[in-house]
Amino acid sequence: MSATKADLVVANGRIVTPDSVFEGSIAIKDGKVLAVGDLEAMPLAAELFDAAGMHILPGAIDDHVHFRDPGYPHKEDWESGTAAAAFGGVTCVFDMPNTIPPTANGEILAAKHAIAASKAHIDFGLYGLLGDNTIATVPELIAGGVIGFKLYMGNTFGKIPSPDTGATLECFEVAAATGKRVSLHAENNDIMERRQKRLMAAGRKDQWAHLAARPSVVAIEAVSRAAILAEWTGARIHVLHISTAEELRPLREAKARGVDITGETCPHYLLLSTDDYNRVPGIIAVNPPVREKQNQQPIFDALIDGTIDVIATDHAPHAYEEKTRNDIWTVDCGFPGVETQMPLMLTQVNAGRMSITDYVRMSAYNPARIWGLYPRKGALLPGSDADIAIVDLGREHTIRDAETQSRSKVSPWDGYRVKGLPIHTLVRGRFVMKDRKLVGGTKGWGRSVHAIQDMPEPAVMNAEHSMHAITRP
């Protein structure tokens, strides 16, 4: 046994990587993985934690959450949101910019970083808002440490203006030069606004009207258009919350052409459908909407075969009264998910629909790689941050909204039975959730993350026609 002393050894678990599962132990020192292997080969440690019977996973990276702070503290804040994440085996989140004020310049970004750092139990990245009115602030957002950008092709909660196609092209040109990836709410805003106005004029207020205003074509068109603009500019793009089987065709075709495009989906598009609309009519409302059942298996298959890269949540909490109004146009869209994603997906592992190595690939390895964090995050390798979810694959549990950590106590998952549960969560070597209890003194432990990889130069198809070339004297 080595004389080098570790702070902690997590022993006797089943360590999971994107391509293997093996019995082993992990030594941790100064917040990082020091060694991985047999217990007999581990260094002396100040503490030994026995993980026998458990699986040891890299903590999940959720690249799509809305923690509502600042601006909507009654819905969620960084303390409650990251506590929910810790209970869900999530060790790093990326927060969206549709807070109040939107994360649109360096000053607002710095203030949001300070709020998050003072409250977060886990690590975090912040998106900068990319749109017609923020093109000029891209340099200061980069200097302030954004993890990436968010562009709203379609309207959703927060009513962030959607740039037209000309502005979107220019946004992509500017973002491409930075190497930062742009996450897209990919829905065609013109179609949605026109259809919603007609539905409202007809007196429709039911939950089905929300789906009718956002048919699959709004997503198919937006993904196709974004892929073409990204190919032209060399922008690196990420398609959020894939909800339709038909979106997969433009995604696959763009990948085959060499476009730097990645995609994600969420458990509600895999496990819920319009069959659930009568059960939880306003509660299930989300943008894009939960769709017909025939979309589920193709999306699931695409997640397994790698067409879709990431499982995320679009964690979007609201108060109960905001989700249960009788007029669907006044219902706030979205619901919590950061605490329930891992149990829901481990249930699919137990059902034989995917392997646990598949799950690690889509929940940790791929997000870290896509966002330039690998191998600091998303891995259990010497030198990696010791971000760990220790899970009991045999543990059965019933999700109860009232028992979750989020301030929002309303979701379509209430009463859902799962098998497979995170029991302990470590962030940079420190337990933040242990034995299904939040560890005291971990508020403010979370730190902002920044890309460590050099991003590739943009592969611009038509550089001579870029806005920069056009305006050059």
Cβ atoms of 295 and 269 closer than 8 Å: yes
Structure tokens at 242: 């894939």
User: Which percentage of the chain shows pLDDT scores above 90?
Assistant: 93
Weakest mean pLDDT among 148-157, 322-331, 349-358: 148-157
Q: Could you report the per-residue pLDDT of 301-350, keeping only the tens digit for each?
A: 999 999 999 999 999 999 999 999 999 999 999 999 999 999 999 999 99
Provide the 3-class DSSP secondary structure of residue 47. Answer: coil
Q: Could you report the per-residue pLDDT of 226-265, keeping only the tens digit for each?
A: 999 999 999 999 999 999 999 999 999 999 999 999 999 9
Q: Residue 452 pLDDT more than 90?
A: no
Peptide bond preceding 375 in cis form (omega within 30 of 0): yes
Q: Residue 473 pLDDT more than 60?
A: no
Structure tokens at 58: 């890299």
> What's the pLDDT at 1?
46
Structure tokens at 331: 């219902």
Cβ atoms of 387 and 164 closer than 8 Å: no
> What's the pLDDT at 458?
79
Whether pTM > 0.85 for this model: the answer is: yes
